Structure 1
Amino acid sequence: MMIQMELSMLNRNGTLVSEEETEEVTGIHCENLVIAFAVSNSPDFRSIRIIKTIKMCSHCHTFAKLVSEKYKRQILIKDPNCLHKFKGGKCSCEDYW
């Protein structure tokens, strides 16, 4: 089973706002929502895979590390700069991105 989510937002004029602008305006980062959804709706043995079009922030990086440790899940997040593999509370980038 593959879950595919795309988060976007319309501004007051009905214009589509980019992922980066959505995060800036709402303070909600889409990868955190996707991780939370996947943890609660997919089997425990499944890896969580996310592809981003913008660079991951430090808050989301820390969140993914904590979730991978707490829920014993492998989380893969591909951003334009790096493929982050989170497992057991550690990231393959060794917190350098």
Structure 2
Amino acid sequence: MALMIIPIILGSFWFGPVYTVGQSVVPPTMRATSSAILLFILNAIGLGLGPLSVGLLSDLLATSFGLGDAEGVRWALIASSLLALGTFALFWTAKRTVRVDMVP
């Protein structure tokens, strides 16, 4: 359990920059709307589609590939964790244009 502290801390580093950029790329009169849309999308995907897609993948792996329930869940969680690599690549690519996009 103590080893989980490191991934949890590293996994939450993106919150500050994402909210900052979400506020900085729109005019001051649209910042509340931008924040509301950002929170809605993050919650809809993270809390709505995230668990659903991991569960569907788990069921698919358990039944279609014959892995069993425990192995299906394990591999579904591993596959969903690998999405972090794609997310990292997208953030890394976006960093090149953020300064240009910011509204003074």
Q: Report if TM-score (shorter chain) is over 0.5.
A: no
Q: Which has the higher contact order (CA 8 A, sep 6+)?
A: 2
Higher strand residue share: 1
Higher helix residue share: 2
For normalisation by structure 2, the TM-score amounts to 0.25
For normalisation by structure 1, the TM-score amounts to 0.26
